[in-house]
Structure 1
Amino acid sequence: MPIKSYLAHPHIGKKNELAETLSKIDQCEVMPAENKNVIVLVTETDTDQEDEQLKEKLETIPSLKLLALVSGFNTPSPNKN
C-alpha cells in the first residue's frame, strides 16, 4: 500500500482552487499551509499501479505548478501472505 507525502505548489492565485481539486480525489488528504503558498498532500493507494495512475492524474491539474515528493513508503497489503 503506497503512502506518499508531497508539497504541492500552485500557480500564483490558484491555491484555493488547487486545494479544492485535490480534496475531491478519494486517495488524497489535503492540508493547506496557513502562511505560505503551498499545500501538503498525502496520498494512499492500494497498489503501485493505482499510485502511478494517481500521480499521472495529479500532474494534469491546471492549477498545479509543481509537485515535490517529500516521503514515500510501501506497506504490505493485509490481503497478501
Structure 2
Amino acid sequence: MPIFSYLAIPRNGAKENLCAELAALEYCRAMPADNHDVVILVTDTPDQTTEEELHETLTKLQSLQSLSLAFGYGGYGGDGGDGLR
C-alpha cells in the first residue's frame, strides 16, 4: 500500500483544471492551497505496479507543470516493519 504526497504545480492559470483532473483519478486526493498556486496531492494505491501506472498518468496531465515528491511510504519491508534500516 504505497502512500505518497506531492506538491503539484499547475501550468499558468490551470489550477482549477488540474484539481478537476486529479479529482477524476482513482487513488488520488487533491487539496488546493488557498493562497498559492499549488495543489497538495496524496496518493494511496494498493500496490507498487498501480503506483507506477498512476505516476505515469500524472506526469502526462496537460495542466501539470511540475510534480515534486514530498513524502513516500512503500510499506514493503517484508518483516512487518517499515522497511527502513
Is structure 2 residue 5 aligned with structure 1 residue 8? no
Aligned to 1:79: none
Whichever residue aligns with residue 49 of structure 2, its letter is Q
Is structure 2 residue 38 aligned with structure 1 residue 38? yes
Distance 1:54 1:11 in 2: 20
Query: Identity over aligned residues, as a percent?
Result: 41
Higher strand share: 1
Q: Which runs of 5+ in 1 are unaligned?
A: 77-81
Aligned to 1:68: 68
Q: Output the aligned Cα RMSD.
A: 0.8
Partner-residue secondary structure (3-state), 2:4: strand
If the length of structure 2 is used for normalisation, what is the TM-score?
0.87
Instruction: Flag as ranges the 4+ runs of structure 1 deviating above 6 A.
Output: none
> Shift of residue 75 of structure 1?
2.4
Larger radius of gyration between Structure 1 and Structure 2: 2
Greater relative contact order: 1 or 2 (C-alpha under 8 angstroms, separation 6 or more)? 1
Whichever residue aligns with residue 7 of structure 1, its letter is L
Distance 1:6 1:59 in 2: 12
Distance 1:23 1:33 in 2: 15
Aligned to 1:58: 58
Whichever residue aligns with residue 58 of structure 1, its letter is L
Count of aligned pairs: 76
Q: Which runs of 5+ in 2 are unaligned?
A: 77-85
